[in-house]
């Protein structure tokens, strides 16, 4: 039972990596979390979205739902656009009507990766494929439908749950002696729990400011764990830590992106500059290597 004074937080995409962590960590931030999966709430359906907001009466909404199958999106553009481009606008309209903040998770794939430095919030978006384009369109729809929003762009998400690069590398290492991984795509890995903590901190801050008559934070920020690496170096770090804990570890051989063609083009450099988040809110991301250690401790812990 939710206490009358407890803030209610609606989390869409509650079955995903970030959504799972949002539900797990919400209480520590003073929220009673109400999580919905795609089966429980179709965020591409305007009537369903408006009915959910009206019935659940959340104090804030975090949209962690997304179509994230980057390659499959090239052959399923309508589905990707429905979830990533259209749904944020529907949530924006409903949250604006209810006068509540909407926090939304976006991606490094809104950029083309041609910059030779970490990307800032004000850099122009130029997505390379359907997934990135649909996420960029979702940002526009959200900004157009509600002023009281926070867009948090992140990248290379990993956690002990769901599908992600860390788990894939561990699975393949148990099957093969050698893995080939691209070494010319650069970025910053991001632990789902750290993304969730930032979103919950910002949601709480937004409601606190609103309650005291101040303008809540509105706009776009970047968050990922600190440090820039390649997928190849990321894989090597995973294998080194796995070997140290006695788990199967394969050799990792670097290859260029050209040797591993995929339906969707990837940004060559999608590292995100998180300076604005630190300057505005005092949030300092921890190193991705430290976050990786925590996740591998969970994944490689002996089972009894």
Question: Quick check: pTM over 0.85?
Answer: yes
Inside any domain, residue 239: no
pLDDT at 45 over 90: yes
Inside any domain, residue 240: no
What are the pLDDT digits (tens) for 184-211? 999 999 999 999 999 999 999 999 999 9
Once rounded to an integer, what is the mean pLDDT over residues 266-292? 96
pLDDT at 304 over 70: no
- Count of domains forming the chain: 1
What are the pLDDT digits (tens) for 151-171? 999 999 999 999 999 999 999
Q: How confident is the model at residue 181 (pLDDT cuts 50, 70, 90)?
A: very high
Inside any domain, residue 62: yes
Inside any domain, residue 102: yes
Q: Are 223 and 274 in contact (CB under 8 A)?
A: yes
HEC letters along the chain: CCCCCCEEEEEECCCCHHHHHHHHHHHHHCEEEEEECCCCCCCCCHHHHHHHHHHHCCCEEEECCCCCCCCHHHCCHHHHHHHHHHHHHHHHHHHHHHCCCEEEEEEHHHCCCCCCCCECCCCCCCCCCHHHHHHHHHHHHHHHHCCCEEEEEECCEECCCCCCHHHHHHHHHCCCCEEEEECCCEECCEEHHHHHHHHHHHHHHHHHHHHCCCCCCCEEEECCCECCEEHHHHHHHHHHHHHHCCCCCCEEEEECHHHCCCCCCCCCECCECCHHHHHHHCCCCCEHHHHHHHHHHHHCCCCC
pLDDT at 4 over 50: no
Q: Are 26 and 33 in contact (CB under 8 A)?
A: yes
What are the pLDDT digits (tens) for 207-257? 999 999 999 899 999 999 999 999 999 999 999 999 999 999 999 999 999
Q: Are 64 and 19 in contact (CB under 8 A)?
A: yes
Which CATH number covers residue 142? Answer: 3.40.50.720
Range of the domain at 218: 7-163+189-227+271-285
Which one has a higher pLDDT value, 62 or 1?
Answer: 62
Inside any domain, residue 198: yes
Once rounded to an integer, what is the mean pLDDT over residues 140-155? 97
Out of 67, 131, 232, 260, which one is annotated catalytic? 131
Inside any domain, residue 209: yes
**109 annotated active-site:** no
Inside any domain, residue 251: no
Inside any domain, residue 181: no
What pLDDT is stored for residue 301 in this prediction?
83
Q: Are 186 and 270 in contact (CB under 8 A)?
A: yes
């Amino acid at each position: 039972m939710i206490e009358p004074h407890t803030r209610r937080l609606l989390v869409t995409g509650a079955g995903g990596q970030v959504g799972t962590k949002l539900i797990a960590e919400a209480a520590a931030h003073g929220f009673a979390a109400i999580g919905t999966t795609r089966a429980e709430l179709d965020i591409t359906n305007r009537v369903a979205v408006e009915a959910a907001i009206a019935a659940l009466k959340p104090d804030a909404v975090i949209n962690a739902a997304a179509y994230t199958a980057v390659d499959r999106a090239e052959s399923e553009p309508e589905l990707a656009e429905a979830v990533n481009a259209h749904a944020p606008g529907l949530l924006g309209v409903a949250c604006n009507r209810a006068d509540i903040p909407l926090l939304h998770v976006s991606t490094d794939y809104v950029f083309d990766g041609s910059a030779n430095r970490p990307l800032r919030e004000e850099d122009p978006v130029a997505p390379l494929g359907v997934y990135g384009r649909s996420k960029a369109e979702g940002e526009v729809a959200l900004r157009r439908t509600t002023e009281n929003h926070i867009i948090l762009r992140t990248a290379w998400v990993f956690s002990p749950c769901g599908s992600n690069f860390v788990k894939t590398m561990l699975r393949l290492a148990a099957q093969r002696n050698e893995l080939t991984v691209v070494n010319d795509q650069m970025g910053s890995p991001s632990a789902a729990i750290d993304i969730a903590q930032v979103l919950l901190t910002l949601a709480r801050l937004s409601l606190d400011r609103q309650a005291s008559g101040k303008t809540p934070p509105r706009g776009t920020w970047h968050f990922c764990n600190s440090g820039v690496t390649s997928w190849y170096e990321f894989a090597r770090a995973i294998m080194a830590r796995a070997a140290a804990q006695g788990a199967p570890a394969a050799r990792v051989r670097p290859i260029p992106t050209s040797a591993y063609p995929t339906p969707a083009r990837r940004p060559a450099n999608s590292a995100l500059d998180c300076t604005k988040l630190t300057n505005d809110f005092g949030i300092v991301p921890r190193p991705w290597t430290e976050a990786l250690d925590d996740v591998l401790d969970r994944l490689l812990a002996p089972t009894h």
